[in-house]
Amino acid sequence: MKKAFIFDLDGVIVDTAKYHFLAWQNLANSLSISFSEEQNEQLKGVSRVRSLEKILEWGNKTISEEEFTRLMAEKNEEYLTYISRMDTSEILPDVPRILNYLISKTQAIALGSASKNARIILDKVELTNKFNTIVDGTDVSKAKPDPEVFLIGAKALDIAPEDCVVFEDSVAGVQAANIANMISIGIGDAKVLHEADYVFKDFTEIKEEFLDTLLTT
């Protein structure tokens, strides 16, 4: 049976959280706000606008709308310099094995990311041609846990939500998949992602036999 497999980008295909961290940290420092790796964890899967709002909340700072827009642009410019240096070595372990297996089984493949830079990143790591459709932060108006990003992907592939499987590393993303009535597979810590239907530490733990069970149910 044909199913759709929807992949989140950051934390699932590549680890761009480290680049977001560097850029957000510089921005926070410029405002005399301290910003830790733990706080960066809480920004995973969160939109750019909401991320800056949260940093300002943590620092107890209020800024004008103009400054907000300027800071977002500056942060993204710095982030873009980091991702411009990315290459195929940054693809997380066994992602190509899983993609290639699903493609060999003629399954539909989608990207479902909150990032407005998703297309650039996929090009840098040379994975764009693996995807039948790409839905990213430029296509959605509502952030995860709203299921919009995954529902747009399912519609583009003409596959019913209950026949979609989502790979996600963020709590909000797992919740979005569940709300969309899709099968959710958490990639990361089982305690953090306990709402997912299945959780794997990373793709090296996912066997072809497991994928086969998803194809036949």
**Span from 40-48, 92-100, 124-132, 158-166 in contact with ligand B16 (CB under 6 A):** 40-48
Instruction: Determine which helix (DSSP H) or strand (DSSP E) holds 119, and give its type and residue range.
Output: helix 118-124
DSSP 8-state class, residue 112: E
**CB of 136 or CB of 163, closer to Mg ion:** 136
Instruction: Determine which helix (DSSP H) or strand (DSSP E) holds 133, and give its type and residue range.
Output: strand 133-135
How far is C-alpha 82 from the chain's CA centre? 17
For residue 51, the partner it binds in Mg ion, ligand B16, none, with Cβ less than 5 to 8 A by kind, is ligand B16
Question: Is 10 labeled as catalytic in the residue annotation?
Answer: yes
| Binding-site size, ligand B16 (CB under 6 A) | 20
Question: Is 169 labeled as catalytic in the residue annotation?
Answer: no
> How many CA atoms within 13 Å lie on the side-chain side of 116?
14
Q: Are 57 and 33 in contact (CB under 8 A)?
A: no
Q: Are 22 and 126 in contact (CB under 8 A)?
A: no
Considering only residues 42-61, where is the footprint of ligand B16 by CB under 6 A?
A: 43-48, 51
Considering only residues 52-111, where is the footprint of ligand B16 by CB under 6 A?
A: 76
Contacting residue, 114, 140, 180, 183, with ligand B16 by CB under 6 A = 114
117 lies in the site for ligand B16, by CB under 6 A: yes
Rounded to whole angstroms, the maximal C-alpha distance in the chain is: 55
The residues annotated with a catalytic role in the active site are 8, 10
Q: Binding residues for Mg ion, per CB under 5 A?
A: 8, 10-11, 45, 169-170
